[in-house]
């Protein structure tokens, strides 16, 4: 019989602890080994039971979720999923939690005590299963403070007439990986960058601000009918596909698309990559970072077929090797490199 995933639930609400425990008990491969009502109790249970995953509420008395997360990752590193009620929480907090070593977050229904969370049983169970494969060592690396160390582009490249572009796909573990990459790219990068990071819609602006804070390329949330410009990075907004169209030698137009999810996600890297391949052909570099699932695989194949180039993050530095592995197994990857080499390869592509 396969080993069950052991889970510790930490929430100051007795109701939420019970309902989450009862929901998880319905899954044959998941097991709640304990619950805790605050951060201090959570630290004791984590040390004693060594769970595979901690479900951790952000807002708690005595010791809040971020302080508890910091202690867990320092004393008993493990996979942590943050729980947050979106009607109460500052949207920057879940992103800060990811920076501190959390793997993922789950939005709880807001308002008074509610049974609405039971509607998300399948989604919560799937998230737990996905997170159970996250590598602890990669999470430890993600906690190392990011130091801005921007690469320089050779002067002649800034005058290069050829209009190149870079597209990036990321999911679980992606926000921290992207911060690292952007901290090592020049502010005046002579190409537009387009990013699909799987995040709920309410986090788009906060995520864009965090990428901006590392002082790399200027980062904004993409808008419909906006022209792409060199030196800017455009983040696909949550719940909308980002499509490139009306491409010319020195420009491309961004469109936001409400069509059906692809590979269960919207925005989809496949949608972005495929449209970018049509636009830029051999002038395109596609980068696939850490994440669960296969989003980006079909898009990477389209980039390769159009003459573009594809690099993927290696297994050792990926929190979850799902997306890069799928591209690698499809035969579309030109190169597999650790995270620290990805900004170097991006700059080399633009300097060619």
Residue 72: CATH number of its domain: 3.40.50.2300
pLDDT one-digit tens code per residue, 284-328: 999 999 999 999 999 999 999 999 999 999 999 999 999 999 999
Question: Is 320 a member of any domain?
Answer: yes
**Same structural domain for residues 198 and 104?**
no
In the set 171, 204, 268, 318, the catalytic residue is 171
Query: How far separated are the first and last CA of the chain, in Å rounded?
Result: 54
Residue 144 reports pLDDT greater than 80:
no
Question: Is 17 a member of any domain?
Answer: yes
Structural domain range at position 166 = 155-351
**Same structural domain for residues 253 and 203?**
yes
**Same structural domain for residues 118 and 261?**
no
- Taking residues 88-107, report their average pLDDT: 82
Q: Is 224 among the catalytic positions?
A: no
pLDDT one-digit tens code per residue, 201-241: 888 999 999 999 988 999 999 999 999 999 999 999 999 99
Among 62-71, 100-109, 154-163, 273-282, name the one with the lowest average pLDDT.
154-163
Residue 342: CATH number of its domain: 3.40.50.180
Q: Is 206 among the catalytic positions?
A: no
What was the pLDDT predicted at 112? 44
Question: Is 145 a member of any domain?
Answer: no
What was the pLDDT predicted at 148? 63
Residue 74 reports pLDDT greater than 70:
yes
Six-digit token pair at 236?
């696909």
CA atoms of 97 and 38, how far apart (whole Å): 17
pLDDT one-digit tens code per residue, 246-265: 887 778 999 999 999 998 89
Question: Is 138 a member of any domain?
Answer: no
Question: Is 125 a member of any domain?
Answer: yes
In the set 57, 270, 295, 314, the catalytic residue is 295
In contact, 170 and 137? CB cutoff 8 Å: no
Residue 145 reports pLDDT greater than 70:
no
Q: Is 198 among the catalytic positions?
A: yes
Last residue of a domain, one of 82, 117, 132: 132
**Same structural domain for residues 102 and 234?**
no
Residue 158 reports pLDDT greater than 70:
no
Residue 37, SS3 per DSSP: coil
**Same structural domain for residues 173 and 295?**
yes
Question: Is 149 a member of any domain?
Answer: no
Residue 6 reports pLDDT greater than 90:
yes
**Same structural domain for residues 79 and 215?**
no
In the set 198, 204, 270, 314, the catalytic residue is 198
Q: How many domains does the chain have?
A: 2
Greater model confidence, 249 or 148: 249
**Same structural domain for residues 295 and 203?**
yes
Six-digit token pair at 76?
């008993």
């Amino acid at each position: 019989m396969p080993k069950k995933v052991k889970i510790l639930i930490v929430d100051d609400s007795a109701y939420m602890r019970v309902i989450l425990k009862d929901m998880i008990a319905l899954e044959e491969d998941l097991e709640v080994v304990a619950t805790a009502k605050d951060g201090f109790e959570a630290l004791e249970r984590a040390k004693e039971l060594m769970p595979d995953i901690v479900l951790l509420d952000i807002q708690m008395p005595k010791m809040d979720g971020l302080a508890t997360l910091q202690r867990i990752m320092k004393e008993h590193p493990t996979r942590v999923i943050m729980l947050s009620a979106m009607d109460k929480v500052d949207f920057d907090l879940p992103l800060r939690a990811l920076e501190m070593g959390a793997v993922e977050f789950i939005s709880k229904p807001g308002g008074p005590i509610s049974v609405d969370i039971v509607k998300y049983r399948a989604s919560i169970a799937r998230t737990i299963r996905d997170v159970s494969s996250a590598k602890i060592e990669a999470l430890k690396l993600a906690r190392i403070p990011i130091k801005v160390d921007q690469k320089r582009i050779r002067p002649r490249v800034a005058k290069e007439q050829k209009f190149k572009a870079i597209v990036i796909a990321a999911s679980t573990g992606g926000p921290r990986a992207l911060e690292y990459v952007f901290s090592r790219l020049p502010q005046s990068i002579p190409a537009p960058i387009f990013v699909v990071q799987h995040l709920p819609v309410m986090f788009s602006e906060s995520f864009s601000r965090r990428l901006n804070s590392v002082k790399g390329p200027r980062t904004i949330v993409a808008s419909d009918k906006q022209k792409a410009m060199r030196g800017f990075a455009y983040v696909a907004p949550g719940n909308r596909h980002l499509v490139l169209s009306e491409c010319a030698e020195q420009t491309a137009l961004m469109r936001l698309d409400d069509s059906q999810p692809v590979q269960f996600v919207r925005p989809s890297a496949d949608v972005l990559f495929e449209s970018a391949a049509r636009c830029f052909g051999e002038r395109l570099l596609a980068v696939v970072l850490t994440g669960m699932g296969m989003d980006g695989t079909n898009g990477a194949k389209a980039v390769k077929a159009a003459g573009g180039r594809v690099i993927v993050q290696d297994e050792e530095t990926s929190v979850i090797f799902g997306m890069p592995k799928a591209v690698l197994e499809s035969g579309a990857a030109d190169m597999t490199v650790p995270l620290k080499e990805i900004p170097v390869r991006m700059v080399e592509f633009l300097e060619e």
